[in-house]
Chains A and B, each alone.
Chain A
Amino acid sequence: MTSAEFLDLSVYATFVMVMLSLAIAFVRLALGPTLADRVVALDMMTVTIIAVCGVAAVATGVYALLDVALVLALVGFLATVALARFAERREARQKGDPQ
């Protein structure tokens, strides 16, 4: 086996493993008992999609995909922070509620 064939094979294997980890993180997103579990799973999925962009850039040679990864890193952080603050405020509001 030449080294170029090995690279092709490892790109396919990387695609399979990264997509598998995306699916597993999605299972946690669907199951997750609390909101914080779902936010963690969503964060994990964002990081995994950044990895998918990297593998796709290697497989196709289109390097505009790395711009997608950069924007996804920025937006994913904002989503995580917004959801975490939402969870915290909702908690504070429920606590302050005299029932």
Chain B
Amino acid sequence: MINIIISVFLLLGSFFALIAAIGVLRLPDVLTRMHASTKAGILGSSLILIGGAIYLQETEITVRVIAIILFLMLTSPIGAHMIGRASVRDLQSKKDIIKDNSQ
């Protein structure tokens, strides 16, 4: 029974990781690509790590897995925010250049 639960966690996690990668490849612009990679990617790797914690069944492993998941969920919005700010400023300055040239 526990093997089935671990398998379901692993397969769900890899499915979400694959969806995130396809989103990063196929979506049209930086901000939507970031949306795919941060949300679906973190969910996929968290599910895989939870499956590993259930499989190994030791306290130190579980603590480590919880630390990894908490750290990913704390840091990925910060990183996405910084990349998004940089790319938005990039787009704005490109628009300004086009305006300057047209005047």
Contact = CB atoms under 8 A, between A and B. Distances in A.
Given A50-B45, A54-B51, A81-B78, A40 B13 contact: no
Q: Which of B24, B25, B34, B87 has the largest count of A CB atoms less than 10 A from its CB?
A: B24
A20 B21 contact: yes
* Majority-rule SS of B interface residues: helix
**Number of chain B interface residues as a range:** 35 or more
Contacts of A94: 93
Which interface class (under 10, 10 to 19, 20 to 34, 35 or more) fits A? 35 or more
> Mostly helix, strand, loop or mixed at chain A's interface?
helix
B52 A54 contact: yes
B48 A54 contact: yes
Given A44-B20, A95-B93, 14 more contacts: A7-B3, A14-B10, A14-B48, A18-B17, A25-B24, A40-B83, A44-B41, A50-B45, A51-B48, A58-B52, A66-B52, A67-B64, A81-B79, A94-B93
Contact of A21 (B21, B42, B72, B90): B21
